[in-house]
Amino acid sequence: MTGPVLVEIVGLNNAECGPFPCDENRTCGLSGCYPSGKLNTSFEELKRVLKHEYGDRVELKLTLIDKGTPDYIRSIIETEYPPLPMILVNGRLTRIGRISLERIRKEIEKEF
């Protein structure tokens, strides 16, 4: 593999980071964003953790679709109907449907 693995999180600006409430059990594997439960805060915590673990081998991108949807995202939504937040790894749609550290790690590892 050449270049970093790109993890793209797609969602809405004021959305939650997943379908489950943000609680002290931290089933998502992140703690720095608790108790916000917000996508933007969770993205920043995910980015911090993954950069610490993988360094430059992983790149993260947050794509908010509130005010416009890129064509490639629109195409995925129209054909796959994925849950939001949508998690793409190197452009490949995953069926995670939430910010989940362990599940995103597994998808990253598939790319190495």
Structural contact between residues 76 and 82, judged by C-beta atoms closer than 8 angstroms: yes
Whole-number CA gyration radius for the chain: 13
pLDDT tens profile 80-93: 999 999 999 999 99
Domains in the chain: ranges and CATH: 5-111 (3.40.30.30)
Q: What is the pLDDT of the chain when averaged over all its residues?
A: 94
Q: Can you tell me the distance from the alpha carbon of 85 to that of 70, in angstroms, rounded to the nearest whole number?
A: 15
The stretches of the chain forming alpha helices (DSSP H) are: 39-54, 71-80, 101-111
Where does residue 75 rank: exposed (0-12), middle (13-18), buried (19+ CB within 10 A)? exposed
The pTM (predicted TM-score) of the whole model is: 0.93
pLDDT digits (tens, 9 = 90+) for 6-24: 999 999 999 999 888 887 7
